[in-house]
Structure 1
Amino acid sequence: MGSGELSGRDVLASSVRGQGRRVAVSAALGSVHQLGEALVPVLIGVVVDQAVAGQHAGRLALWLAVLAALYVCLSWSFRLGARAGERGAEEAAHELRLAVVRRVLAPRGGAGTDRLSGELANVATEDAKRVGAVNMALMSGISAVVGIAVSAVALLLTSVPLGLIVLLGTPVLLWLGHLLSKPLERRSEAEQDRAAGAAGVAADLVAGLRVLKGLGAQRAAVERYRRTSQVSLAATLRAARAESWQTGLVLALTGGFIALIAWVGGRLALDGSLTLGQLVSAVGLALFLLGPLETFAWVNAELAQGRASANRIAEVLSAGPAVTGGDEPVPDAVRGELRLRGVRLGGLDGVDLDVPAGLLTGIAVTDPACAEALLSCLGRESDPESGSVELDGVPLTRLDPARLRAAVLVAAHDAALFEGTLAENVVPADTADDALTARALAAADADEVVRSLPHGAATGLGEGGRSLSGGQRQRVLLARALRAGPPVLVVHDPTTAVDAVTEARIAEGLREFRQGRTTVVVTNSPALLAVTDRVVLLDGGRVGAEGTHAELARTHETYRTAVLA
């Protein structure tokens, strides 16, 4: 499923086409089941007329055997059909989850720009599940149509008036059910939007729980989530009311329809137009019709919710990329020289900056927005509004984003740790014990973290590395960035949560480990800036000063204020 312009209808159609074989098989088996269910009252009527009324024991045994065989057939067809339908629904939901994840993780970005991570997770789980369930609804709807068609034919053969009532009344019921599903579709979409928003806020608050505790802002955070949750609850209740009204009205219409069939059948039996067996068959068929018609009510509700969820998935899949163009491969031999010319983005206001190849360069800022914009440009998460960024003289906009990020690794200070062991978070398990990994752990002072854990590097860190302290997390993240060994490494505030002694060790380890390779440290930490070859100060969105840390600390007041205050 591509990321071009998509509509909810496109998402639904693609989901069904992808499971076409399973939907066809499940619908065929479901139709056999409905055929068998419809034939049961017909055969009972035959038994009443030919065996019971005529008191033929042999015929009675024969027809009872036919009924038993029919029940075996409809039972197994239902089981196998439901299994194929459920598998189709689950496979479709799985494919949609993969499509959403691929779009979110696409090198050119854009899908998660205006959405919280919890909201995206909700789209990839609940919405994908609802769209996948449409495949099961289609199977049920097709088999219900077959059941009604068979019943109509049987009633026509029994009595033309009864058959015409079914043939003419069923389309009217379906049309009314479709009209009644419209409010449910609108409210279901609103419900999913609010639920996704609540999930996003919850994930955001959990991710920042330590910071909130440090600021003493737990009460404000709880109040924020309470308000969001109440809005979500109100939307859910509105959707539930719409669903209950829709289901209740459809069932009421269905009940009236069945009552009409039974009344007409009774009148025909009284005037002799129907035999006793035919009346039994007609009433049985009328009661059987309750099942397919109730199925239509359920199918309408599933389709309404599936359409709403498909619209939300389509919004993610068709989101425009954050960066465009750039298909050239990165040269095999990257020297690592970075050059910015007239770059404007966020807090950057026409920055001209040269980062020499093979040196350790520190960048201090007076405005954190400048740091965020610079990292976004270097990692090509965003392209400058004007100006250019070059790697070894080649504009980044010409290079393939995925290959570029392998050459220029931007290690954000708030990067994520994943479920798994410490070793698996630093490097793939098959190379977790090599000498380079040991050096990277030592350079980031993460070897001390390894020694403090009960099972060393094999210790599981839990979701998001929650078993580690803030300083330990930072050291593991830095070790991971160092172990990756890119030609150009850009790290942002890697030591904000460690003590001064540890920070000094990390600074020396970083310099030694990256000796001879281009490294950029975006930080206002004196300990880190002191080990750099040169420092650039970004002030007011432009380069305000350049030199060594010692020179700038001695001669530049703004630098002293930003770094030493």
Structure 2
Amino acid sequence: MHIRDLPHPDPGVPDVRTGGAFLLWLCRAQTGGQLKALFWGLVNFGAIASFPLPVGLAVQAVVDRDGGLLALSGGLLTVLGALIALGGVMLHRAAVTNWITAVARMQQLLARKTTELGSAMTRRVAAGEIVTVSTGDLEKIGWFVEGVSRFGAAAVTAVAVSVALVIRQPQLGVLVALGVPVLALAVLPLLPPATRRADAQREMAGRATELASDTVAGLRVLRGIGGEELFLGRYRSASQEVRRAAVRSARMWSLISAVQVVLPGLLLIAVVWYGTRLALDGTIAVGELVTIYSAVTFLLFPLRHFEEIAQAYSFARPSAKRTARVLAQTRPADGRGTAPATVPAGDLHDPHSGLTAVAGRLTAVVCGDPDAAGRLAERLGGHPPQGDEEDAGEAVPLSAALGGTPLDDLPRDTARRAVLVQDKDPMLLSGTLGELLDVPSSGRVPAAEALGAAQCADVLSALAQASVDDSGDPMRTHITERGRSLSGGQRQRLALARSLVADPEVLVLDEPTSAVDAHTEARIADGLRRIRTGRTTVLLTSSPLLLDRADRVAFLHDGKVVAEATHRELLHRDPAYRAVVTRETDAAPGPPTMRLDEAGRNGRGRPALDEVKTLNTAAQPAVQQIEETA
């Protein structure tokens, strides 16, 4: 395959059982490129290995004063020189092509896996590990793939030269044939500790990358609480550990390099000493001695490729293991069964928790554990339980079912048209606001109506003022990557508007208003209920304002539904539910209370009764409810 043919029409299905299996699959996937590089490697190394022959002939021609033999040796040197140049250029081109196409294949596999899993990817694999895999790990794996063909050519050529020496001059050839394997295998005892040190370095570097990624992602929050220096100190400590691990690893590899220089040098000294004695005795000619010396010198060249492939493998193996772990995350793209490719209608049921979201109704879910709520949202989106979530011994579907049809049995595209999950940290890609809202949709909800329901009027005004083309059109205003130019509440509302424009059959929202004030939250609650009329909506929240708008509220404890009713009914009859919603410090039964901190604010960091009492008339039911419980 040529670089101009990228991307691959089909990157294939990788073997992700182990890191070694993944490397083997990757090399097999590029058999044509590897054979091409191997051919040119044999041309290049074979010409270099043949160079001692005409050199020896030239020396012997000078000794014998044979002009014809000297001319022949000159012609051979010219031909071999041309082959060396051609083989070197083509080998480099083929090897680098293998590197680039291998990295491109892995990038396509990672992109396909990210598309398949969506936001569930970062729930299963740390974001920092994904960054490590998609950057440094791919380069290290590509280095190994690129070095395999050179190593193969070097090994074949070294064996051929050793055999030729044994045939041409048995006395010296046997010495060389026995010495070369010893040289190649001498570093094997050093490879395990070197590999362990390299693995430790890679793991520490991965943790440092994860820490840096998480710190950058939460930089706005860190600045708000004055935590930059604390996390800077943590990253400085982590980076110093990486430096010390890299130094320890470099010491082992420098020792391996020294062995690769000292032992071949000793072999060369032995060959020259023994060959000189044979030449003085008249056993071999001077030209033969020069030829053998040059051949042994050449053998030092492939030995360097043995060291390179060993080092490349030591770095590629942990990288391949991480890559395979990421690619092993699955969600069947074509479904597990023969379900129809149309979006089913009916209730959304999660067999793991027992939650049922009635079709066409607004269902709220209260869960005291944010991680459990995130896992519930993932299952409702059609992703199977992972790890501790799996019910051992229970015959339950792997994911939620819509209208009685498990989402795992639907093709991925159909499942995504049916259920849209917006997690608590939605991603905004760079581009204009119009491009942000240009998503696959039913066409039932215009962008303006969705923006209005999400209370984005102030966001539109700010974007209009920031318009670079002086048009004043907020839809043409550019939004930076991840929406970094916007506040947390603005990003959250734009993401909500995008979800409303998509207008899926089922919309799952995980804490969609956690970053907005109570006034805005009340209006969003009314707009959301109005625009989602006749559609199934699931809210994972503990906000009283949103809970009071829900048709039904389900309370989860230890991942299971333990109570279902309206918000007000649960407030009065379920102390545990009341403790979660009102942020009590304990869940002991008793009269409902609102716990405030020293600043008079509730657990969500906003004014409690003072602010709620100022809500507009649309929020009055919630005001009355909180006043009753406070």
TM-score range, shorter chain: 0.7 to 0.9
Structure 2 counterpart of 1:64: 74
Indicate whether 1:45 and 2:59 are aligned. Answer: no
| Alpha-carbon offset, residue 202 of structure 1 | 1.5
- CA separation of 1:464 and 1:326: change in aligned 2, threshold 3 A: same
Quote the RMSD (CA, aligned, Å).
Answer: 3.7
Alignment-derived partner of residue 534 in structure 1: 551
Residue 501 (structure 2) aligns with: 483
Matched to 1:469, the amino acid is S
Q: 1:102 to 1:208 in 2, by over 3 A?
A: same
- Asked if the contact 1:420–1:460 (Cα under 8 Å) also holds between the matched residues in 2, the reply is yes
Alpha carbons 1:265, 1:279 under 8 Å: kept: yes
Going from structure 1 to structure 2, the CA distance change for 1:375 and 1:294 (only over 3 Å counts) comes to: closer
Match of 2:257 in 1: 247
Provide TM-score, normalisation by structure 1: 0.85
Give the conservation status (yes or no) of the 8 Å contact 1:134–1:302. yes
**Aligned pair in 2 of structure 1 residues 424, 336: CA closer, same or farther (>3 Å)?**
farther
**Which of these residues, 89, 99, 119, is aligned with residue 89 of structure 1?**
99
Post-superposition CA distance 1:464-491 (Å, at most 9, x none) = 2222221221122112211221001121
Matching of residues 173-192 of structure 1 within 5 Å: 173-192=183-202
Determine the C-alpha separation between the residues in 2 that align with 1:286 and 1:495. Answer: 74
1:12 aligns with 2:23: yes
2:538 is paired with a residue of what secondary structure? strand
Determine if contact 1:155/1:163 at 8 Å carries over to the other structure. Answer: yes
Q: CA deviation at 1:230?
A: 3.3
Aligned partners of 1:8 and 1:310 also within 8 Å: yes
Code of the aligned partner of 2:184: L
Which of the residues 402, 408, 411 maps onto 1:391?
402
Check whether the contact 1:364–1:535 (CA below 8 A) recurs between aligned residues: no
Provide Cα deviations, 1:362-386, integer angstroms capped at 9, x if missing partner: 4445554563354244224444647
Structure 1 unaligned regions, length at least 5: 345-350
Change (3 A) 1:312 1:282: same
Q: Residues 156 and 163 of structure 1 are in contact (CA less than 8 Å); yes or no, is this contact kept in structure 2?
A: yes
Structure 2 counterpart of 1:538, one-letter code: F
Q: Does 1:403 find its partner at 2:414?
A: yes
- SS in structure 2 opposite 1:416? coil
Measured in 2, the distance between the counterparts of 1:380 and 1:230 equals: 42
Which residue of structure 2 lines up, in the alignment, with residue 25 of structure 1? 36
Secondary structure at 1:53 match in 2: helix
Matches within 5 A, 1:127-206: 127-153=137-163, 155-156=165-166, 159-206=169-216
- Please state how far the C-alpha of 1:192 moved relative to its aligned partner: 1.8
Equivalent position of 1:348 in the other structure: none
- Residue 329 to residue 240, structure 1, CA distance change in 2 (3 Å): farther
Aligned CA distance change for structure 1 residues 534 and 256 (closer, same or farther; 3 Å): same
Distance 2:304 2:220 in 1: 51
CA contact (8 A) 2:332 2:408 kept: no
Q: Is the 8 A contact 2:346 2:404 kept in 1?
A: no
Deviations 1:530-555 (A, max 9, x none): 5x352416275645563366x87899
Change (3 A) 1:268 1:111: farther
Residue 282 of structure 2 is aligned to residue 272 of structure 1: yes
**Structure 1 residues 72 and 537, CA gap change in structure 2 (3 angstroms):** same
Give the direction of change, closer, same or farther, for the CA distance of 1:514–1:168 in structure 2 (3 Å limit).
Answer: same
Kindly provide the amino acid, as one letter, of the partner of residue 159 in structure 1: Q
Match of 1:116 in 2: 126
Q: For 2:412 and 2:131, how far apart are their aligned partners in 1? A: 24
1:458 Cα deviation from its structure 2 partner: 4.2
Q: Does the 8 Å contact 1:446/1:476 carry over to 2?
A: yes
What is the identity, as a one-letter code, of the residue corresponding to 2:582? T
Distance 1:437 1:330, change over 3 A: farther
CA distance in 1, matches of 2:100, 2:556: 54
Q: Which shifted more, 99-108 or 448-457?
A: 99-108
C-alpha spacing 1:402/1:254, structure 2 compared with 1 (3 Å): farther
Find the aligned partners of 1:476 and 1:554 in 2 and give their Cα distance: 35
What percent of counterpart residues are identical? 33
Matching of residues 145-544 of structure 1 within 5 Å: 145-153=155-163, 155-156=165-166, 159-318=169-328, 326-327=336-337, 329=339, 332=342, 334-339=344-349, 343-344=352-353, 353-365=355-367, 368=370, 371-383=373-385, 385=391, 390-394=401-405, 399=410, 403-428=414-439, 436-446=446-456, 448-449=459-460, 450-455=463-468, 456-529=474-547, 532=549, 534-536=551-553, 538=555, 540=557, 542=561, 544=563
Instruction: Tell me the TM-score normalised to structure 2 length.
Output: 0.77
- Code of the residue aligned with 2:130 in structure 1: it is L
Q: Secondary structure at the match of 1:495?
A: coil
Cα drift, residue 198 of structure 1: 1.6
How far apart are residue 43 of structure 1 and its match? 0.9
Q: CA offsets, 1:55-92, max 9 Å, x none? A: 56676455434422321221011110111011112222
1:272-327 Cα distance to aligned partner (Å, 9 max, x none): 23333333323322322222222222222223333343333344444687999953
Task: Return 5+ residue gaps in structure 2 as ranges.
Answer: 1-11, 469-473, 584-621
**Does residue 547 of structure 1 match 2:549?**
no
CA deviation map 1:109-128 (0-9, x unaligned): 99765641111322343333
Instruction: Work out the number of aligned pairs and report it.
Output: 552
Preserved CA contact (<8 Å) 2:383 2:408 = no
